[in-house]
Amino acid sequence: MARTPFIAGNWKLNLTVSEGVALAKGLVGALKPGVEVAVCPTFLALYPVAQAVAGSALGVGGQNCYWEEKGAFTGEASASFLKDAGAKYVILGHSERRQYFGETDATINKRLKAVLAQGLVPILCIGETLAERDGGLLQQVLKTQIEGSLAGFTAAQLETLVVAYEPVWAIGTGRTASSAQAQEAHAFVRSVLRGVVGDLADRVRIQYGGSVKADNAKELLSQPDIDGALVGGASLKLADFSAIIAAA
């Protein structure tokens, strides 16, 4: 079935407020009909970027959120805070959050609940390390991450779910999964989703993330189960990100 391509830029810990606003304004002119596009700035830049592109089709998202609404949680931002700042999307479970900040499927599950309660669109990140892939654990890892992150949710609750498959070994390394490798993983992810949410799996958009660039985007996005991209480094440059949008 037809799924609207979705390209999201994860700016990570990059771009000052002024730099982010300038890039976002430039991206408004690069939007294409039939392609959903969002950028995910730092917490500090989220509100100014959202204000700068208000009224346009460019969406804005957070890179993470905490599961509690408010309280004594120094350094955290809740889903309601992100929504109030202008966010529509929230990235959850990025491999860097798992690697550096102790994220687990259980904590991601709690964050997902908070995000959905605020009516925000979750971008759930999953993916295997090189050691896991080489060890033949690709499917086991992906299945465990999907089922753990989505435990306790019904298909009706997950209508807006977006999944981003990111082979960890291809993030920021310059290495990219071949289009065949990426499609194989995406097809498997969709099969696991079918076991969790039934027919909704055919409507869930699955992005590919892992050194997506202007020169490989078209081939990756042409695969039947690849519905977009979660873009890191290439989303920081107007020309590169615009080319990826055009490829979609």
Query: SS3 helix, strand, coil % of the chain, rounded to 5?
Result: 45, 15, 40
**CA-closest candidate to residue 187, choices 197, 200, 201:** 201
Of the listed 36, 96, 166, 186, which one is catalytic? 166
Give catalytic status of residue 186 as yes or no.
no
Rounded CA-CA distance 102/2 in Å is: 36
Check: CB of residue 145 under 8 Å from CB of residue 179: no
159: phi then psi, degrees, rounded to nearest 5: -55, -35
d(CA 167, CA 57): 29
Amino acid identity, position 204: V
**What b/e readout covers 165-189, taking b as 16+ CB neighbours within 10 angstroms?**
bbbbbbbeeeebbebeebbbbbebb
Annotated active-site residue 166? The verdict is yes
Instruction: For residue 18, give the 3-state DSSP assignment.
Output: helix
Look up tokens 């759930």; give the residue: 124
Catalytic residue among 94, 96, 103, 128: 94
Tell whether the torsion through CA atoms of 61, 62, 63 and 64 is positive or negative. negative
If one counts every other C-beta atom within 10 angstroms of the C-beta of residue 2, the result is 7
If you ran DSSP here, which 8-state letter would residue 120 be given?
P
Active site residues: 94, 166
